[in-house]
């Protein structure tokens, strides 16, 4: 772009190009990328579109470059450096799995379980204890810590690079954690090693967790159900679940969670839309009861929760 052009036309052209490239949310992505290029929030960009404010030529060139990379299916969050997840703005980049909107439903199920515990036990129930297995960016554990005041939470991550990103997330969420009176620690470890996980719970939580949340690697061996942004850019250790059905890692995580959960505690685990029945079987085999699979925003099976008696 060699000269200034109106915001409405700039966004419309970018949206059309992103749609042709197969991007699932071209309008939202174009808006986010222009806001990033222009160093404005999205509300100001919407206002600029409403009044058809000119986009300066240098901003337009920066925006065009970002859109070209997005059209190559580089994740939006890698381009902006931020993944928005519920109340959080998480720093992300190469080396850490980018949390997706559907995972917010896993966090909500965990929060609902904490609320039910408080309702049953009353004010004398003490601080909630939360364990996030395969924490990655820290999205799930941090969301529960921030939104459930007074929570003690720990995230377990086997990959040092991902754990470093989770540490950055904790720093970015410092004000929210302080306001909630909660804490969240990141610990290196194998989330499928029940003995290691039990030691982490004892050292970091001071007891068994009331809620375990997890978005483990679960991609099937054939790579089905994955978009190009995931296969091409998210770290491989965060994707492949092991075995043809992608459930080798989730099975170990389920067993570890079942071994450490407090009586009445709840496990909420994300999985692929074709894995719900198998996950329910794994949970029952680990001694958990009442396994129930729930859908995401598109109506596809997305996560399963169960209770330790």
State pLDDT tens for residues 227-264: 666 666 667 777 779 999 999 999 999 999 999 999 99
Handedness of CA 38, 39, 42, 48 (dihedral sign): negative
pLDDT of residue 2: 55
pLDDT of residue 175: 98
Residue 294 bridge partners (DSSP): 303
- pLDDT > 90? residue 39: yes
- Mean pLDDT of the chain, nearest integer: 94
Angle at 101 between CA 105 and CA 246, to 5 degrees: 80
Supply the range of the domain harboring residue 50. 5-72
Q: What is the pLDDT of residues 64-122, one digit of tens each?
A: 999 999 999 999 999 999 999 999 999 999 889 999 899 999 999 999 999 999 998 87
Q: Is residue 82 part of a domain?
A: no
Distances (CA, A) of 278 to 14, 108, 176, 248, 294: 42, 23, 37, 11, 14
CB 273 within 8 A of CB 227: no
The band of 17, judged by pLDDT with boundaries at 50, 70 and 90, is very high
- Same domain for 189 and 62, yes or no, is no
User: How many residues would you count in the chain?
Assistant: 309
SS3 per residue for the chain: CCCCEEHHHHHHHHHHHHHHCCCCCHHHHHHHHHHHHHCCCHHHHHHHHHCCCEECHHHHHHHHHHHHHHHCCCCHHHHHCEEEECCEEEECCCCCCCCCCCHHHHHHHHHHHHHHHHHHHCHHHCCCEEEEECCCCCHHHHHHHHHCCCCEEEEEECCHHHHHHHHHHHHHCHHHHHHHCCEEEEEECCCCCHHHHHHHHHHHHCCCCCEEEECCCCECCCCCCCCHHHHHHCCHHHCECCCCCCCHHHHHHHHHHHHHCCCCCEEEEECCCCCHHHHHHHHHHCCEEEEEEEECCCCCEEEEEEEEC
CB 206 within 8 A of CB 153: no
pLDDT of residue 47: 97
- Same domain for 66 and 92, yes or no, is no
Report the distance separating Cα 113 and Cα 250, nearest Å.
Answer: 21
pTM of the complete model: 0.88
Handedness of CA 29, 30, 32, 37 (dihedral sign): positive
Total number of domains constituting the chain: 2
pLDDT of residue 226: 63
Report, as an integer, the average pLDDT of 271-283: 97
Last residue of a domain, which of 45, 72, 99? 72
- Same domain for 174 and 276, yes or no, is yes
Half-sphere exposure of 40 (CA within 13 A, CB side): 15
Last residue of a domain, which of 72, 103, 121? 72
pLDDT of residue 123: 61
Q: Among residues 66, 65, 68, 86, which one has the least CA distance to residue 77?
A: 66
- Same domain for 107 and 48, yes or no, is no
pLDDT of residue 70: 96
Q: Is residue 78 part of a domain?
A: no
- Same domain for 147 and 283, yes or no, is yes
- Same domain for 13 and 126, yes or no, is no
Mode of pairing for the β-strands spanning 152-157 and 129-133 = parallel
- Same domain for 186 and 146, yes or no, is yes
CB 209 within 8 A of CB 261: yes
- pLDDT > 90? residue 132: yes
CATH number of the domain that 155 lies in? 3.40.50.150
Report the distance separating Cα 153 and Cα 3, nearest Å.
Answer: 51
- Same domain for 49 and 175, yes or no, is no
């Amino acid at each position: 772009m060699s000269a200034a052009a109106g915001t409405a036309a700039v966004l419309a052209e970018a949206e059309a190009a992103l749609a042709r490239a197969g991007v699932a949310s071209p309008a939202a992505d174009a808006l986010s990328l222009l806001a990033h290029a222009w160093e404005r929030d999205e509300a100001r960009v919407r206002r600029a579109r409403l009044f058809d404010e000119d986009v300066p030529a240098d901003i337009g060139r920066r925006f065009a470059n970002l859109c070209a990379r997005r059209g190559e299916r580089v994740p939006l969050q890698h381009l902006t450096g931020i993944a928005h997840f519920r109340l959080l703005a998480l720093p992300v980049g190469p080396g850490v799995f980018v949390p997706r909107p559907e995972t917010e439903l896993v966090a909500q199920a965990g929060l609902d379980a904490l609320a039910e515990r408080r309702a049953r036990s009353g004010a004398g129930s003490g601080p909630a204890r939360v364990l996030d297995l395969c924490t990655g960016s820290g999205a799930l554990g941090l969301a529960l810590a921030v939104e459930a005041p007074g929570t003690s939470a720990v995230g377990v991550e086997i990959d040092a690079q991902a754990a470093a990103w989770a540490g950055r997330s904790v720093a970015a969420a410092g004000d929210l954690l302080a306001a909630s009176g909660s804490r969240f620690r990141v610990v290196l470890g194998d989330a499928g090693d029940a003995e290691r996980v039990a030691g982490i719970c004892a050292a970091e939580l001071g007891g068994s967790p009331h809620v375990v949340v997890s978005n483990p690697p679960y991609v099937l061996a054939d790579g089905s159900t994955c978009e190009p942004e995931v296969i091409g850019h998210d770290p491989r250790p965060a994707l492949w679940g092991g075995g043809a059905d992608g459930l080798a890692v989730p099975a170990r995580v389920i067993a570890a969670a079942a071994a450490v959960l407090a009586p009445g505690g709840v496990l909420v685990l994300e999985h692929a839309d074709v894995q719900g029945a198998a996950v329910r079987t794994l949970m029952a085999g680990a001694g958990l009861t009442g396994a129930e699979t729930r859908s995401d925003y598109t109506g596809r099976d997305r996560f399963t929760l169960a209770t330790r008696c």
